[in-house]
Amino acid sequence: MTACNAALRGMPSVWLVAKLHKEELAFVSTPVLTFLTRFLPDTMRLSLEAWHVDDAVHQSTLHVTSTHARVPCPLCHVQTARVHSHYAHTVADLPWGIYSGCLRLRVRKFFCDHAACSRQIFTERLPTVTAPWARQTTRLVEGIRALGGALGGAAGARLTPRFGLPVSRDTRLRLVARLPLLVVPPLSALGGDDWAHRKRQRYGTLIVDLERRRPVALLNDREADTLATWLRAHPGITVSARDRMKAYGDGARAGAPQATQVADRFHLVQNLAEALDQVFSAHGNARKAVSDALRKTPVLQADGRTAVPVPPRAPALQAQTRAAQRRARRLATYEQVWTLHRQGWAPRAIAQQLGMGRWTVGRYLRAPSFPERKGRSDKGKSRRTP
Ligand SMILES: [Zn+2]
């Protein structure tokens, strides 16, 4: 069903509902035309001529014309008022409730009368409404782009139909890709670290402006030359924070020799945590003995009474046997890793040969003695023996 409402132009809507809202006339007295005009993308430049709703396809259409009598030529920017012709241009707009939005623009073509201009006829531009040749209003594009930027392709595709924006994944990504690139301000302190195109296969480099706390560049690899080239294009850097990867050190020295190189806090703390982990893992039995002794010590309560901790129940014999078997397997693997390492095998080859993760191989090779399982940190603890 199509209901064209051009005949209602300017007719106040108040009489339709006055009987229901006699006490709230100020609230309901906005004429329909005035009301609908509020929803135009540019109320200063567009005039609403008609509107209709198509219930068959759930679409509302606003018919609008441009109101400016004189417009500038896009080439020479000289104003002109001599109209050549009109044509209709339809663009999608923001949805309204269950209806998709549509703008039917009556666009004019003008003569450019400037003698020095090579353009004789041009189409008027409506930069606040839509871009030339675009099929969507600018505000619709901005909405789709914002959703695409926040959600990406797949998540955006799942969510946007619920907001009445059924745009394909590719269109959304194309709109995001057209965003102008970030203008990098003069940098003083930056941080660099690697990021994974694909984990364990291909890595790039992320560069962060440490003063403004925002990323400013993604480099396609983590080679010294790539970093050095980028740094040379951004002179004035005084501090370069990074991990201790050799390529980053070489790149920073070559590209920004004036900068102070700093081992960043994240990697320092990470290295400290790894070192402590190795130390404590190597003394797993001693830690367990100290922990057990502490758990057996009576605890003096605030009210003067003494609480005697109840030792945790020993695991069942079957569970103990299984744990011992697992430990024996881990120990055998640990010794195999070290045997191959001493024969000159690379960690990656060891991992492939023994069917284990490279991270575990690396952890074993960093541990001077067999790292015992840590176990639960709260084992044997209770509210009475915190
Ligand atoms: Zn011109």
Work out the pLDDT band at 386, boundaries 50, 70, 90: very low
Determine the distance separating the centroid of ligand 1 and the alpha carbon of 112, expressed in angstroms.
5
Determine the distance separating the centroid of ligand 1 and the alpha carbon of 49, expressed in angstroms.
29
Determine the Cα–Cα distance for residues 90 and 18; give it in Å rounded to an integer.
36
Determine the distance separating the centroid of ligand 1 and the alpha carbon of 73, expressed in angstroms.
5
At residue 22, does pLDDT exceed 60?
no
Determine the distance separating the centroid of ligand 1 and the alpha carbon of 125, expressed in angstroms.
13
- Ion ligand 1: residue ranges with CB closer than 5 A: 73, 75-76, 112, 114, 117, 119
**Residue 366 burial (CB count, 10 A):** 13
Determine the distance separating the centroid of ligand 1 and the alpha carbon of 81, expressed in angstroms.
12
Could you report the per-residue pLDDT of 253-302, keeping only the tens digit for each? 999 999 998 888 888 898 898 888 888 877 877 887 887 787 777 777 88
Could you report the per-residue pLDDT of 27-60, keeping only the tens digit for each? 667 788 888 899 999 988 899 999 999 999 899 9
Residues of the chain above pLDDT 90, percent: 38
* pLDDT at residue 290, as a whole number: 85
Could you report the per-residue pLDDT of 361-376, keeping only the tens digit for each? 988 888 777 887 766 6
Give this prediction's pTM: 0.52
Determine the Cα–Cα distance for residues 181 and 215; give it in Å rounded to an integer.
12
CB 230 within 8 A of CB 255: yes
Determine the distance separating the centroid of ligand 1 and the alpha carbon of 122, expressed in angstroms.
8
Return all residues near 209 (Cβ < 8 A) that are at least 6 apart: 184, 185, 187, 189, 190, 215, 216
Supply φ then ψ for residue 189, to 5 degrees: -120, 125
Determine the distance separating the centroid of ligand 1 and the alpha carbon of 67, expressed in angstroms.
20
Placement of tokens 């995001």 in the chain: 176
Determine the distance separating the centroid of ligand 1 and the alpha carbon of 42, expressed in angstroms.
25
Determine the distance separating the centroid of ligand 1 and the alpha carbon of 110, expressed in angstroms.
10
Determine the distance separating the centroid of ligand 1 and the alpha carbon of 84, expressed in angstroms.
14
Listed residue (289, 295, 312) closest to 385, CA to CA: 295
Determine the distance separating the centroid of ligand 1 and the alpha carbon of 85, expressed in angstroms.
17
* pLDDT at residue 375, as a whole number: 63
Work out the pLDDT band at 1, boundaries 50, 70, 90: very low
Q: Where are the domains of the chain?
A: 2-126, 143-177, 189-263
Determine the distance separating the centroid of ligand 1 and the alpha carbon of 132, expressed in angstroms.
17
CB 97 within 8 A of CB 140: no
Q: Around 335, how many Cα atoms within 13 Å sit in the side-chain half-sphere?
A: 5
Determine the Cα–Cα distance for residues 5 and 7; give it in Å rounded to an integer.
5
Could you report the per-residue pLDDT of 92-126, keeping only the tens digit for each? 999 988 899 999 999 999 999 999 999 999 999 99
Determine the distance separating the centroid of ligand 1 and the alpha carbon of 46, expressed in angstroms.
23
Determine the distance separating the centroid of ligand 1 and the alpha carbon of 171, expressed in angstroms.
33
* pLDDT at residue 312, as a whole number: 67
Determine the Cα–Cα distance for residues 23 and 27; give it in Å rounded to an integer.
9
Determine the distance separating the centroid of ligand 1 and the alpha carbon of 63, expressed in angstroms.
28
* pLDDT at residue 173, as a whole number: 80
| Angstrom distances, CA of residue 1 to CA of 52, 53, 59 | 10, 8, 11
Determine the distance separating the centroid of ligand 1 and the alpha carbon of 116, expressed in angstroms.
8
CB 139 within 8 A of CB 127: no
Determine the distance separating the centroid of ligand 1 and the alpha carbon of 255, expressed in angstroms.
48
